[in-house]
Chain A
Amino acid sequence: MTAVLFQQVSRHFGAVRAVDSVDLAIAEGEFFAMLGPSGSGKTTCLRLMAGFEQPTGGHIEIFGETAEGVPPYRRNVNTVFQDYALFPHLSILENVAYGLMVKGVGKAERLKAAEEALAMVKLPGYGTRRPGQLSGGQRQRVALARALVNRPRVLLLDEPLGALDLKLREQMQEELKSLQKSLGITFVFVTHDQGEALSMADRIAVFSEGRIQQLGTPEEVYKRPKTRFVADFVGSSNVLPPDFVESLGFGRHHASLRPEAITLGDGPGRKQFSGRVTASSFLGAANRVTVEANGARIAAMVPASTPVPAEGATVTLSFLPEDLHTMDGAQ
């Protein structure tokens, strides 16, 4: 069943088209990521699902029911806010129990459910504290528990990991993913971090300027970007100019080529070109080598085990033809 359906949905603020004719269908139980830079419309889409914004055009359905004109408090959809939005005047337990309280669930029952939700996010016994006494990571878990205790049909997450440090973020990514699998709730996840979207989502919608540039599985979006924007934004793909692509024998198109698909030297069945090394940087597991070839700057990921060519040296590079993807109508 379709959990969330957008048909030609627009949200304009004056002359600004924050969301512009967006179509999407999120399946029940799916982990769906909306990826894009700030101002691309992904958060506005999330707010349209939550009910904080009303569309200026188009049609929204949540589990088959029309969502336009339905206020947030009458939607069985819950949000984990970017900065958590915990109520500062309530204890952690009261925060988590809030949704049940306003629905009229009895005190003993709602506090028990809140305690269970806190245990689920690995914060048992934290109920008596105030939000101000918790660390960022703990507050993030409380926000998650506060949303999940209501057993929403769709959980919306607005860059929930943005404020956490790298290690905590990676840990939370895994926990979120396994939580989503065990609960079977539809997750809609907004992020500007492509790594996060690729590692967690079942499907990704890449947003730019209020429109979806590409919608597909992480692998599709990563390996076969449809537009230059997607190639640029998702990962750090090389976007090859039409002249260069033509010289390699692929016709006159823009094309994308992943840095890790390029190796130093030639091999059987590989396309090769040569360039001059302009820079290299050590990234731990690999070296990122930038070369200039036919006027294009191309980055290649070279395993740390291979020696790094000196700057200014001319090197031969090669790739498998199927790794190069031409893009139609790429701006």
Chain B
Amino acid sequence: MSTDTSILSRRTGALGQLSDTFWRKPKILLFLMLTPPLLWLGVIYLGSLFALLLQSFFSIDDFSGLINYDFTLDTYRQLLIPSNFDIILRTVVMATLVTLASAAIAFPIAYYAARYARGKWKVIFYLGVMLPLWSSYLVKVYAWKLILAKEGILTWIFAKLHLTWLLDAWLSLPVIGGSSLSISYTGTFIVFIYVWMPFMILPIQAALERVPGNLIEASADLGGNPAQTFRHVLFPLALPGIIAGSIFTFSLTLGDYIIPQIIGSSRLFIGQAVYAQQGTAGNIPLAAAFSVVPIVIMGLYLWMAKRQGAFDAL
């Protein structure tokens, strides 16, 4: 009988031979699987990013509107004129505030999910966090426009709670106020937080999930009260997750051009500036220079996070 031999007969057919070959030389399979995505990432994605970077070193001829293909830093100098620099400053401040607020709101939710939610409640948590991602981004933003509008439900709730004075006082504040929430920076801020929240919750939850429960107990056992345990154990160990989440919320806010266009004052953010410069204005070099700004800021941010030891616990 054939089963009496300890080496079973060779699989016949091309597929059988192929899987034998892959088993003996696993690197061939890895090479075949990775080549297409690496080509995509390396050539098409990074290549076009590089082309964009190159554009920012060209300038535009003010009279003809044609691109002048000589190396110059003039376009970057243009970023520093007050009207353009305000756009950058406004976007960076908004992105920073959105990131800080998202982290503060996301942490307790992520903590609950990682430490306490089990079984059914974990499913409900994931659904609750992911569900907003299943509907169109535009639909959500327009829904918020209605919620925040002067005739919207939020104004109505404030009136029912006899808190209209509070809302009015808030809206009368300079810079962050406006004639209604939907056309104020406050509104833009609220919607940014809402839309990016899942991107902050999930990495923090993943980080907290990896913190063994007995480290919390060990800290308490050694005399650390809950605040000390948070500061010296929980926060440092969750930091990689917070940094990962903040990279999402920060960079997404830096680049977004839809939310500030629909909700908020008409003042521009970086994303809108890029959109306007490459579209109607046709100033590709300036659009490119604007889009380099978030890349540089993110690079600086990651470098600083690494220096602070944010990734040591990875």
Contacts and interface: CB of A to CB of B under 8 A. Distances in A.
B215 A87 contact: yes
B20 interface: no
Among A78, A81, A98, A147, which residue has the most Cβ atoms of chain B within 10 A?
A98
Nearest to A101: B232
B219 interface: yes
B224 A87 contact: no
A150 B223 contact: yes
A102 B228 contact: yes
A40 to B, nearest CB: 20
B223 A79 contact: no
Contact of A52 (B217, B223, B225, B232): B217
Contacts of A83: 212, 214
Nearest to A78: B221
B217 A102 contact: no
B220 A71 contact: yes
B74 interface: no
A282 interface: no
Contacts of A50: 217, 221
B222 A146 contact: yes
Contact of B232 (A72, A85, A98): A98
A60 B222 CA distance: 20
A50 B223 CA distance: 11
Contacts of B221: 50-52, 72-73, 77-79, 147
B313 interface: yes
B216 to A, nearest CB: 9
B236 interface: yes
A190 to B, nearest CB: 14
B218 A81 contact: yes
Interface residues of B, number: 19
Contacts, number: 65
Contacts of A103: 223
A167 interface: no
A28 B86 CA distance: 71
Given A98-B232, A102-B228, A102-B232, A87 B218 contact: yes
A41 interface: no
Main secondary structure of the interface of B (DSSP, over half): helix
Contacts of B313: 88-89
B231 to A, nearest CB: 9
A85 B214 contact: yes
Interface string A78-115: 11010101111100000000110111000000000000
Contacts of A52: 217, 220-221
A94 to B, nearest CB: 9
Contacts of B218: 79, 81, 85-87
Contacts of A81: 214, 217-218
A98 B217 contact: no
B261 to A, nearest CB: 42
Interface string A35-65: 0000000000000001110000000000000
Contact of A98 (B222, B225, B236, B237): B222
Contact of B224 (A78, A86, A89, A98): A98
A153 to B, nearest CB: 13
B313 to A, nearest CB: 5
A52 B216 CA distance: 10
B233 interface: yes
B308 to A, nearest CB: 12
Q: Which 10 A-B pairs have the closest CB atoms?
A: A99-B222, A85-B218, A72-B220, A85-B214, A102-B224, A89-B313, A79-B221, A102-B228, A73-B220, A89-B236
10 contacts: A50-B217, A51-B220, A52-B217, A72-B217, A81-B214, A85-B217, A87-B233, A89-B313, A98-B222, A147-B222
Interface of B: 212, 214-215, 217-225, 228, 232-233, 236-237, 312-313
Given A50-B221, A147-B221, 9 more contacts: A50-B217, A71-B220, A73-B221, A78-B221, A85-B218, A86-B218, A88-B237, A89-B312, A101-B232
